[in-house]
């Protein structure tokens, strides 16, 4: 009887140890599996972080290169504009200023303008002409002696201290004026010549 009890006790003990060992193995295996999963997850996360950082760095580099390129193009464009402006100014300003110092040149332009103002009714000139006050005597004598027909047709002449060169012309009621000063002609010729100058200098 005692022997059987000892055998049974030993059997229970051995089964307990075996079960404990199996449970321990399961726990260790589960822990190892979890650790492996954690390492794999950490590596995946690390890879994603590195890839994201690389992507952001590439994007920043691309944007920086684009900004540098745009800034360079803008600088080149500005330089071209400045060069064209200097060349155009040298081509236009001096000749125009010199021409507007020539009284005969101004008289010819005025006569041309007035003759074509209302070509179908030359005897009905509803026009007001503003001239520099500093040139009042010269222009008064000119119209009275050389262009009296325009005065007889209704031309009204006034002299204005605000008109420094050239002239302004418009309807008598003053609804608008067309300006023909040296600056007006300079700006006109510059706007015409500038694109041609840029094309001549910089286009292949």
Model pTM?
0.47
Do 126 and 52 lie in one domain? The reply is: no
Between 106 and 21, where is the model more confident? Answer: 106
| DSSP tally for the chain: helices H, then strands E | 5, 4
Between 137-141, 165-169, 181-185, the lowest mean confidence (pLDDT) is in 181-185
* pLDDT tens sequence across 96-146: 677 778 888 888 888 888 887 765 566 677 888 889 898 899 999 988 888
Predicted local confidence at residue 104, as pLDDT: 87
The range of the structural domain enclosing residue 142 comes to 102-173
Do 127 and 167 lie in one domain? The reply is: yes
Do 82 and 127 lie in one domain? The reply is: no
* pLDDT tens sequence across 39-88: 777 777 878 888 887 888 788 888 777 776 776 557 555 655 665 565 55
Do 28 and 65 lie in one domain? The reply is: yes
Do 94 and 113 lie in one domain? The reply is: no
Last residue of a domain, one of 67, 100, 133: 100
Compute the average pLDDT of residues 169-184.
81
148, 109 Cβ separation under 8 angstroms: no
Predicted local confidence at residue 78, as pLDDT: 61
10 Å CB burial of residue 83 (0-12, 13-18, 19+) is middle
Interatomic CA distance for residues 175 and 170, integer angstroms: 8
Predicted local confidence at residue 137, as pLDDT: 92
Domain count of the fold of the chain: 2
């Amino acid at each position: 009887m005692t022997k059987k009890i000892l055998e049974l006790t030993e059997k229970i003990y051995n089964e307990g140890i075996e079960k404990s060992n199996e449970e321990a193995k399961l726990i260790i295996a589960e822990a190892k599996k979890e650790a492996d999963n954690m390492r794999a997850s950490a590596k995946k996360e690390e890879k994603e972080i590195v890839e994201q950082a690389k992507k952001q760095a590439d994007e920043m580099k691309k944007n920086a290169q684009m900004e540098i390129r745009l800034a360079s193009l803008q600088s080149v464009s500005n330089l071209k504009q400045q060069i064209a402006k200097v060349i155009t100014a040298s081509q236009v300003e001096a000749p125009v200023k010199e021409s507007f110092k020539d009284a005969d040149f101004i008289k010819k332009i005025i006569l041309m303008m007035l003759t074509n103002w209302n070509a179908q009714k030359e005897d009905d000139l509803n026009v007001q002409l503003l001239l520099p006050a500093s040139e009042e005597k010269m222009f008064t004598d000119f119209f009275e002696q050389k262009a009296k027909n325009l005065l007889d047709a209704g031309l009204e002449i006034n002299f204005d201290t605000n008109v420094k060169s050239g002239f302004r012309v418009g309807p008598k009621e003053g609804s608008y004026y067309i300006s023909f000063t040296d600056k007006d002609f300079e700006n006109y010729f510059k706007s015409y010549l500038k694109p041609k100058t840029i094309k001549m200098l910089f286009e292949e």
